[in-house]
Amino acid sequence: MYDVAIIGCGITGTSIAYRLSKFKLKTVVIDKENDVAMGATRANSAIVHAGYDPVENSLMAKLNVKSVGMTYEICKKLSVPCKQIGSLVLAFSEEEAEHVQRLYERGVNNGVPGIKVLCFEEAKKIEPMISDEVKCALYAPSAGVINPWEYALALAETAAANGTEMLFSSEVTNISKTEKGYVITAGGKEIEAKTVINASGCGADKIHDMVLPHEFDITPNKGAYFLLDKSEGKRANCVVFQCPNKDGKGVLVSPTVHGNLIVGPNAVACDAEDTSATAEDLAFVRQKAVKSIPSVDFRANIRNFAGVRPNSTKNDFIIEANDGFIDVAGIKSPGLASAAAIAEYVEDMMRSGGVKLEPKASYTDERKQVRFKELSHEERAELVKQNPAYGRVICRCETVTEGEILDAIHRPIVPHTVDGIKRRCGAGLGRCQGGFCGPRVVEILARELGVGREKIEKDKTGSYIVRRRED
Amino acid sequence: MYELAVIGGGPAGLAAAYSAYQNGLRNIVILERDKELGGILNQCIHNGFGLHRFKEELSGPEYAHRFIDMLKDTSVEVRLDTMVIEVTPDKKIFINSPKGYECIEAQSVVLSMGCRERTRGAISIPGTRPSGVFTAGAAQRYLNMEGLMAGKRVVILGSGDIGLIMARRMTLEGAKVLACVELMPYSGGLTRNIVQCLNDFDIPLYLSHTVTEIRGDKRLEGITVMKVDENRRPIPGSEMEFDCDTLLLSVGLIPENELTREAGISMDPRTNGANVFENMETSVEGIFACGNAVHVHDLVDFVSAESERAGAAAADYVKNGAQKSDVIEFKNGNDVGYTVPQKMHRDTKAEKIDVFFRVRRVFGKSKVVVSSGDEEIAVFKKAFMVPGEMQHLVIPADKLKAYDTVTVTAQEV
Using CA of residue B294, residue B295, residue B300, residue B305, what is the dihedral sign?
negative
Evaluate if residue B151 carries a pLDDT over 70. Answer: yes
Cα nearest neighbour of B82 on chain A: A392
> Average pLDDT, stretch A442-451?
98
Tens digit of pLDDT for each residue in A363-372?
Answer: 999 999 999 9
Peptide bond between residue B341 and the one before it cis (omega within 30 degrees of 0): yes
Average pLDDT over residues A266-278: 92
Locate the chain A residue with the closest alpha carbon to B120: A303
End-to-end CA distance of chain B: 55
Of A384, A399, A438, the CB nearest to B138: A438
| Per-residue pLDDT at A286 | 95
Confidence of residue A246 (pLDDT cuts 50, 70, 90): low
> Out of A49, A208, A258, A416, which one is annotated catalytic?
A49
Amino acid at A466: V
Cβ neighbours of B117 in A, within 8 Å:
432, 435
3-state SS class at A38: coil
In angstroms, rounded to a whole number, what is the distance separating the alpha carbons of residues A140 and A50?
Answer: 6
pLDDT at B267: 98
pLDDT 10s digits, A80-129: 999 999 999 999 999 999 999 999 999 999 999 999 999 999 999 999 99
Residues A302, A227 contacting (CB under 8 angstroms): yes
Most A CBs within 10 A among B215, B219, B267, hence the mutation to make, goes to B219
List of chain A residues whose C-beta atoms are within 8 Å of the C-beta of residue B138: 434-436, 438-439
Confidence of residue A247 (pLDDT cuts 50, 70, 90): low
CA distance B192 to chain A (A): 27
> Which among B19, B84, B80 has a CA at the least distance from the CA of B53?
B19
As a whole number of angstroms, the distance between CA B43 and CA B253 comes to: 16
- pLDDT value for B278: 97
According to DSSP, residue A390 is labeled: G
Give me the pLDDT at residue B411, please.
93
Instruction: Judge whether residue A248 has pLDDT over 70.
Output: no
Cβ-nearest to A464 among B116, B128, B131: B131
Select from A149, A200, A182, A220 the least CA-distant residue to A318: A200
End-to-end Cα separation, chain A, in angstroms: 44
Q: Which of B124, B146, B173 sits opposite A439 (nearest CB)?
A: B146
CA angle B254/B260/B264 to nearest 5° reads 130
- Mean of the pLDDT values across residues B21-30? 98
Which amino acid type is present at position B208? Answer: S
CA atoms within 13 A on the CB side of A360: 16
Mean pLDDT of chain B: 96
SS (H, E, C) chain B: CEEEEEECCCHHHHHHHHHHHHCCCCCEEEECCCCCCCHHHHHCCCEEECCCCCCCCEEHHHHHHHHHHHHHCCCCEEECCCEEEEECCCCEEEEEECCEEEEEEEEEEEECCCEEECCHHHHCCCECCCECEEEHHHHHHHHHHHCEECCCEEEEECCCHHHHHHHHHHHHCCCEEEEEEECCCCCCCCHHHHHHHHHHHCCCEEECEEEEEEECCCECCEEEEEEECCCCCECCCCCEEECCCEEEECCCEEECCHHHHHCCCCEECCCCEECCCCCCECCCCCEEECHHHCCCCCCHHHHHHHHHHHHHHHHHHHHHCCCCCCEEEEEECCCEEEEECCEEECCCCCCEEEEEEEECCCECCEEEEEEECCEEEEEEEECCECCCCCEEEEEEHHHHCCCCEEEEEEEEC
CA B220, B224, B227, B229 dihedral sign is: negative
Per-residue confidence at B324, pLDDT binned at 50, 70, 90? confident
Q: Measuring CA to CA, which residue among B51, B59, B221, B190 is closest to residue A462?
A: B221
Best mutation target, B148, B247, B258, to test chain A (most A CBs within 10 A): B148
Chain B residues with CB under 8 Å of A428 CB are none
pLDDT of residue B323: 85
Distance from CA of A458 to the nearest CA of B (A): 6
Chain B nearest-CA distance from A228, in A, is 9
Q: Which of B100, B125, B128 is opposite residue A384, by nearest beta carbon?
A: B100
**Is A275 in Cβ contact with B127 (below 8 Å)?**
no
Residue of B81, B100, B121 lying closest to A304 (CB–CB): B121
What is d(CA A3, CA B411) in angstroms, rounded to the nearest whole number?
A: 80
Do A433 and B119 make contact, defined as CB atoms within 8 angstroms? yes
Amino acid B236: pLDDT:
97
The average confidence (pLDDT) of chain A is 96
- The answer to whether the CB atoms of B218 and A304 lie below 8 A apart is no
Using the predicted structure, report yes or no on whether residue A470 has a pLDDT greater than 90.
no
| Residue of chain A with shortest Cα separation from B126 | A278
Give the model's confidence band at A322: pLDDT under 50 very low, under 70 low, under 90 confident, else very high: very high
For B56, list phi and psi in degrees, rounded to 5: -150, 165
Asked whether A347 and A6 are in contact (CB, 8 A), the reply is no
Please give the pLDDT value at position B362.
Answer: 92
**Contacts of residue B215 in chain A, CB cutoff 8 Å?**
276
Q: What's the confidence (pLDDT) of residue A273?
A: 87
Q: Is residue A467 within 8 Å of B152, Cβ to Cβ?
A: yes
Least Cα distance to B286 among B1, B79, B3 occurs for B3
Report CB contact under 8 Å: B127, A276.
yes
The Cα A229–Cα A236 span in angstroms is 13
Residues 6+ apart with CB under 8 A from B216: B128, B130, B132, B222
Q: Which of A111, A137, A369 is nearest to A242 (CA)?
A: A137
pLDDT attached to residue B235? 98
Predicted confidence (pLDDT) at residue A386 exceeds the cutoff of 70:
yes
* ipTM of the prediction: 0.94
Confidence (pTM): 0.95
Q: Is A49 tagged catalytic? A: yes
Nearest to B128 among A275, A399, A471 (CB): A275
> What are the pLDDT digits (tens) for B264-303?
999 999 999 999 999 999 999 999 999 999 999 999 999 9
For the stretch A398-409, pLDDT in tens is: 999 999 999 999
Average pLDDT over residues A150-162: 98
- Backbone angles phi and psi of A15, in degrees to 5: -65, -40
- CA R_g for chain A: 22
Give the residue from chain B lying closest to A379, CA to CA: B101
Phi, psi for B290 (deg, rounded to 5): -160, 165
CB contact under 8 A, B98 and A384: yes
pLDDT band at B325 (very low <50, low <70, confident <90, very high): confident
Helix axes B60-72, B300-320, angle to 10 degrees: 20
Cis before A265 (ω within 30): yes
Q: Which residues of A touch B258 (CB under 8 A)?
A: 397
A264-291: average pLDDT? 94
pLDDT in tens, B74-95: 999 999 999 999 999 999 999 9
Cis peptide leading into A334, omega within 30 of 0? yes
Distance CA B73, CA A374 (A): 40
User: Which letter, b or e, does each residue of A261-298 get, where b requires 16 or more Cβ atoms within 10 Å of its Cβ?
Assistant: bbbbbbbbebebeebbbbbebbebbbebbbbbbeebee
Q: What is the pLDDT of residue A238?
A: 97
Give the C-alpha separation, B69 to B85, whole Å.
Answer: 28
List A196's β-bridge partners, or say none: A5, A325
Q: Residue A255, SS3?
A: strand
Going through A44-157 in order, the beta strands assigned E by DSSP cover: 47-48, 82-83, 87-91, 116-119, 136-140, 144-146
Within 8 A of B31 by CB-CB distance, chain A residues are none
Give the Cα separation of A24 and A358 in Å (integer): 6
**Is A441's pLDDT higher than 70?**
yes
- Dump pLDDT digits (tens) for B230-253: 999 999 999 999 999 999 999 999
Residues from chain B that touch A281, judged by Cβ atoms under 8 A, are 126
In 3D space, the residue among A230, A394, A387, A370 whose CA is nearest the CA of residue A301 turns out to be A230
